[in-house]
Amino acid sequence: MARYDLLVKDGILVLPYHGEIRADLAVRGGRIAAIGEDLGDAAEVIDATGKVVLPGAVDAHFHLGIYRELEVDAGEETRSSLVGGATTVLSYFRTGQHYLNKTGPYSTIFPEVLAAVAGRAWTHYGFHLAPMTTGQVEEIPRLVAEHGVTSYKYYMFYKGFDLAANSRDAQAFTMGDEYDLGHLFLIMEKLAEVQRAYPDRRLSLSLHCEQSELMRVFIDRVRGGGAPQNLRAYSEARPPLTEQVAIAEAAVLAAHTGVNINLLHLSSAEALEAAAKTPARRETTLHHLCLDHDDLDARGGLGGKVNPPIRTREHNEALWAGVADGRIDWVASDHACCMEEHKGDELWPARPGFGGTALLYPVLFSEGHLRRGLPLTRIAEVASANPARAYNLWGRKGSLAVGFDADLTILDPALTRTVTTDLLLSGQDHCPFEGVAVTGWPVTTVVGGQVAFHEGKIVGEPSGSCLHP
């Protein structure tokens, strides 16, 4: 009988916070059992000579089921994650329009969510929940105790303003109560209270920071100004100032209540500067690091519409500097499968968001490591270790250390591919990164000690489990 279930031989192992070593890695019982040389035999052996072995990415910003059936997204979009080396996805969910298009207590709705995803996910998965009503705020203690949900969300730009319906009726969109700073304060206050009962866990509130009243002014100007209504216009209608102000508002309330906050998808130099002055943990996305609205406008179409908007090359570089120097803690995809038919040819009705999880390690390796010289350890930290720490998964996810779950990806540093929609194995029928040459792609992704993706193809059946940190 073989000593190990899986042996990854002679790869460059990337250990977050430590460095790189050339060694073999052995897996037994779904966990990393040993690192070294001459470890013995295994039931399955993968030759990783000349390749980089990274901890499976923790894609901490995901939207399963936002525009399609949750059951469908759970399968197709976590399948896409394997292409990018992600082995865990943490998905946002809220009641109101989109997702299940209903409201009510999480005690009845969240079990529906869990049932819809169970058995369909190729990666491990967990959820951040958004308390949209005062009743849902009061459910937080039970959600922590019974479901292990330690991360919650508040969308600052919903405050009094429903952009989806082009009206100021937030209640119609959220199906909630007064969705304002008072509601935000109640969430923060409750989370800080519950945190005291869980000193060994990090309870946190993730924030989409755009200031709605300022957005109203800028949107009115852009819509009435006569300029083309394209992605440049969308950025001008939701400028960095709205991020700055919202971050400042959130920071004041967080300091008063003592709650832990995460500032999501920072899109601009100004947002990063404001966020860096707070004790919050900070996130950016692949598209805010790499895409420019003028480039996308030149290609035509609205596939790149997303909230916050795509900015410019100058903002890209400012955010890359934040990744390099530690002001940004992690990089995520903000994956939201949105079909081209839902983008249309008119800016304002077009749905925001698009997929990107299949590009997580490829873009970080190609643009971060090869082009900008970020160490491989830093790439592993922002893609895996840091989000694992933020969301109570460290010790299980985020590293190749002995005893951690055997979630990993083997990346070929010399493999160059041009991004195509088909390559990403997503249900989405377009991609804003289409046509971009990227060097450094996962060739094998292992989930729970089982090979789930190999040489461009899915292997086996979905085996992802729900995480209860």
The answer to whether residue 312 is domain-embedded is: yes
Q: Is the pLDDT of residue 164 over 70?
A: no
The answer to whether residue 395 is domain-embedded is: no
Please indicate, yes or no, whether residues 285 and 330 belong to a single structural domain of this protein: yes
- As a whole number of angstroms, the distance between CA 342 and CA 302 comes to 10
Beta pairing partners, 152: 129, 205
What is the per-residue pLDDT for 178?
81
- As a whole number of angstroms, the distance between CA 146 and CA 143 comes to 5
Please indicate, yes or no, whether residues 246 and 151 belong to a single structural domain of this protein: yes
Full domain range(s) for residue 82: 56-390
Which CATH number covers residue 376? 3.20.20.140
The answer to whether residue 397 is domain-embedded is: no
- Domains contained in the chain, number: 2
- As a whole number of angstroms, the distance between CA 9 and CA 44 comes to 11
Q: Which of 74, 30, 127, 58 is nearest to 361 (CA)?
A: 58
Please indicate, yes or no, whether residues 41 and 60 belong to a single structural domain of this protein: no
The more confidently predicted of residues 171 and 325 is: 325
Residue 55 and residue 407 in contact, taking contact as beta carbons nearer than 8 Å = yes
Please indicate, yes or no, whether residues 26 and 72 belong to a single structural domain of this protein: no
Q: Is the pLDDT of residue 162 over 80?
A: no
Query: Among the three residues 390, 422, 443, which one is the final residue of a domain in this structure?
Result: 390
- As a whole number of angstroms, the distance between CA 255 and CA 234 comes to 32
**Is the entire prediction scored with pTM above 0.85?**
yes
CA dihedral 14, 16, 19, 22 (to 10 degrees): -20
- 19-28 and 437-447 beta bridge pairing: unpaired
Query: Among the three residues 333, 364, 390, which one is the final residue of a domain in this structure?
Result: 390
What is the per-residue pLDDT for 13?
99
Q: Which of 439, 404, 405 is nearest to 419 (CA)?
A: 439
Q: Is the pLDDT of residue 71 over 80?
A: yes
- As a whole number of angstroms, the distance between CA 331 and CA 381 comes to 9
- As a whole number of angstroms, the distance between CA 32 and CA 26 comes to 6
- As a whole number of angstroms, the distance between CA 363 and CA 31 comes to 27
Please indicate, yes or no, whether residues 372 and 414 belong to a single structural domain of this protein: no
* Mean pLDDT for the stretch of residues 296-316: 98
Structure tokens at 301: 């179409």
Please indicate, yes or no, whether residues 134 and 74 belong to a single structural domain of this protein: yes
Please indicate, yes or no, whether residues 232 and 360 belong to a single structural domain of this protein: yes
* Mean pLDDT for the stretch of residues 166-183: 72
What is the per-residue pLDDT for 169?
60
The answer to whether residue 401 is domain-embedded is: no
Please indicate, yes or no, whether residues 77 and 38 belong to a single structural domain of this protein: no
Would you place residue 1 in the very low, low, confident or very high pLDDT band (cuts 50, 70, 90)?
Answer: confident
Q: Over the chain, what HEC string results?
A: CCCEEEEEEEEEEEECCCEEEEEEEEEECCEEEEEECCCCCEEEEEECCCCEEEECEEEEEECCCCCCCHHHHHHHHHHHHHHCCEEEEEEEEECECCCCCECCCHHHHHHHHHHHHCCCCCCEEEEEEECCCHHHHHCHHHHHHHHCCCEEEEEHHHCCCECCCCECCHHHHHCCCCCCHHHHHHHHHHHHHHHCCCCCCCCEEEEECCCHHHHHHHHHHHHHCCCCCCHHHHHHHCCHHHHHHHHHHHHHHHHHHCCEEEECCCCCHHHHHHHHCCCCEEEEEHHHHHCCHHHHHHHCCCCCCCCCCCCCHHHHHHHHHHHHHCCCCEEECCECCCCHHHCCCCCCCCCCCCCCHHHHHHHHHHHHHHCCCCCHHHHHHHHHHHHHHHCCCECCECCCCCCCECCEEEEEEEEEEECCCHHHCCCCCCCCCCCCEEEEEEEEEEECCEEEEECCEECCCCCCCECCC
Predicted confidence (pLDDT) per residue in 200-226, tens digit: 999 999 999 999 999 999 999 999 999
Which CATH number covers residue 452? 2.30.40.10
Predicted confidence (pLDDT) per residue in 87-127, tens digit: 999 999 999 989 999 999 999 999 999 999 999 999 999 99
The answer to whether residue 468 is domain-embedded is: no
Q: Is the pLDDT of residue 6 over 70?
A: yes
Please indicate, yes or no, whether residues 300 and 312 belong to a single structural domain of this protein: yes
* Mean pLDDT for the stretch of residues 264-292: 98
Q: Which of 289, 302, 300, 373 is nearest to 333 (CA)?
A: 289
What is the per-residue pLDDT for 159?
78
Beta-carbon neighbour count of residue 328 at 10 Å?
24
* Mean pLDDT for the stretch of residues 169-197: 87
* Mean pLDDT for the stretch of residues 289-307: 98
- As a whole number of angstroms, the distance between CA 50 and CA 48 comes to 6
Please indicate, yes or no, whether residues 251 and 220 belong to a single structural domain of this protein: yes
Window from 158-167, 316-325, 345-354 with minimum mean pLDDT: 158-167
Please indicate, yes or no, whether residues 315 and 449 belong to a single structural domain of this protein: no
Query: Among the three residues 330, 362, 390, which one is the final residue of a domain in this structure?
Result: 390
Residue 246 and residue 184 in contact, taking contact as beta carbons nearer than 8 Å = no
- As a whole number of angstroms, the distance between CA 412 and CA 389 comes to 27
Please indicate, yes or no, whether residues 444 and 311 belong to a single structural domain of this protein: no
The answer to whether residue 396 is domain-embedded is: no
The answer to whether residue 356 is domain-embedded is: yes
Residue 76 and residue 421 in contact, taking contact as beta carbons nearer than 8 Å = no
* Mean pLDDT for the stretch of residues 27-41: 97
